[in-house]
Amino acid sequence: MQQTDQIVVCGAGGFIGGALVAELRQRGFPRIRAVDRKPMAGWYQRFHDVENLVLDLQYRDNCYTALQGADVCLNLAADMGGMGFIEMNKALCMLSVLINTHLLEAARDIGVTRYFFASSACVYAGYRQNENDIPGLKEIDAYPADPEDGYGWEKLFSERMCRHFQEDFGIDCRIARFHNVYGPYGTFDGGREKAPAAICRKVINAQRSGDPTIEIWGDGEQTRSFMYIDDCVEGVLRLMDSTVREPINLGSDEMVSVNDLVSLVEDIAGTRLERRYNLGAPKGVRGRSSDNSMITRELGWAPSIPLRTGLERTFAWIEQEIRASTTVSSMVNRP
């Protein structure tokens, strides 16, 4: 990407999109347009020196408005959340296909030279993820296809759309399969949060309330890898400056069980809680982590921030937010 490029970040009011806009500003890119459908008061991060637009990108005309004059499109817009959300909202997740389809059409017609699509590890075949202790998933493991129902199918279909728009219309596409991104300025309650943020919130609330228990979805032995937000943003920008045109993993290869994740957060908080296992709750596949052979080979880099380090930063931020929310609530409700 060039300093003179008009860069459009779609989904900029979200967690990863907001962090990406912040980093682009930090690196001195002067022409940034941030687009999200949420009212600006609900954006995770917002900057006065960036062109901010509120547009629902499921609608075709809005995509043309968003990309007017653009050189680069970074598409992170999607209706998504943690496992609880995507298992209960499959139709909403599938409708995100409209965003990528209409953005690709607009990119073709307007002359966008480089296009990024944020895919997901949910595209990987479920039959390869039936055990807790499995090797990291390689990019070829998405086929034969058996992705997460709803959300995973939308991401896999949208990957193919990017591929064919690249082949047929010459749009230079980059695709990253995100593996569980977490960090400050992310969702930590309300039903869309992912495991690291949810566990941090549960531990903090247990300490504040004096309740010595924590609910864990499933048996806690399911395994995942979790990537800190700084590694995610760095990976996206490195990928944009590369020649990699195939989907690539962007995630940590530090695989842990959910029980291990809880223990790490307990250590950070200086507490121990009694664990209650909700075996009927959404829990996803048994095991998943990222094989980083391809990203290391192609970019000479891979996500490296240790889980403990990222969790410490995330825990501190969520604790601060909960304290601030409690303070404001008590002031509002004061007699």
CB-based contact 67:1 (threshold 8 Å):
no
CB-based contact 8:67 (threshold 8 Å):
yes
Q: Give the tens place of pLDDT for each residue, 86-130.
A: 888 999 999 999 999 999 999 999 999 999 999 999 999 999 999
Q: Give the tens place of pLDDT for each residue, 180-215.
A: 999 999 889 988 888 999 999 999 999 999 999 999
Question: Which pLDDT belongs to residue 332?
Answer: 37
**Encoded tokens for 98:** 């409209």
Please say if the pLDDT value at position 330 is more than 50: no
Q: Give the tens place of pLDDT for each residue, 140-194.
A: 999 999 999 999 999 999 999 999 999 999 999 999 999 999 999 988 998 888 8
Partners of 137 in the β-ladder: 290
HEC assignment per residue over 142-175: HCCCCCCCCHHHHHHHHHHHHHHHHHHHCCEEEE
Please say if the pLDDT value at position 2 is more than 80: yes
Report in angstroms the alpha-carbon separations of 124 from 21, 58, 155, 283, 295. 28, 25, 10, 16, 17
Q: Choose between 79 and 272: higher pLDDT.
A: 272
Average pLDDT on 50-65 reads 98
Decide if 329 is inside a domain. Answer: no
Pick from 67, 75, 65: which is nearest to 20 by CA? Answer: 75
Decide if 104 is inside a domain. Answer: yes
Decide if 50 is inside a domain. Answer: yes
- Report the relative pairing of strands 255-257 and 223-225 from DSSP bridges: antiparallel
Domain count, the chain: 1
Question: Which pLDDT belongs to residue 333?
Answer: 38
What is the extent of the structural domain holding 105? Answer: 7-182+227-250
Position 84 confidence tier, pLDDT thresholds 50, 70, 90: confident
Question: Which pLDDT belongs to residue 86?
Answer: 81
CB atoms within 10 A of CB 10: 30
Per-chain mean pLDDT for the chain:
94
Q: Give the tens place of pLDDT for each residue, 210-269.
A: 999 999 999 999 999 999 999 999 999 999 999 999 999 999 999 999 999 999 999 999
**Encoded tokens for 32:** 């940034």
Is 151 tagged catalytic? yes
Tell me how far the alpha carbon of residue 212 is from its chain's centroid.
31
Decide if 118 is inside a domain. Answer: yes
Decide if 187 is inside a domain. Answer: no
Active-site pick, 151, 185, 228, 277:
151
Pick from 259, 120, 262: which is nearest to 178 by CA? Answer: 120
Decide if 264 is inside a domain. Answer: no
> Cα–Cα distance between 165 and 137 in angstroms, integer?
26
Q: What is the CATH number of the domain that holds 70?
A: 3.40.50.720
Position 327 confidence tier, pLDDT thresholds 50, 70, 90: low
At a CB cut-off of 8 Å and minimum separation 6, what does 281 contact?
84, 217, 218
Tell me how far the alpha carbon of residue 279 is from its chain's centroid.
25
Decide if 57 is inside a domain. Answer: yes
HEC assignment per residue over 23-60: HHHHCCCCCEEEEECCCHHHCCCCCCCCEEEECCCCCH
Tell me how far the alpha carbon of residue 36 is from its chain's centroid.
15
> Cα–Cα distance between 174 and 242 in angstroms, integer?
9
**pTM of this prediction?**
0.93
Decide if 19 is inside a domain. Answer: yes
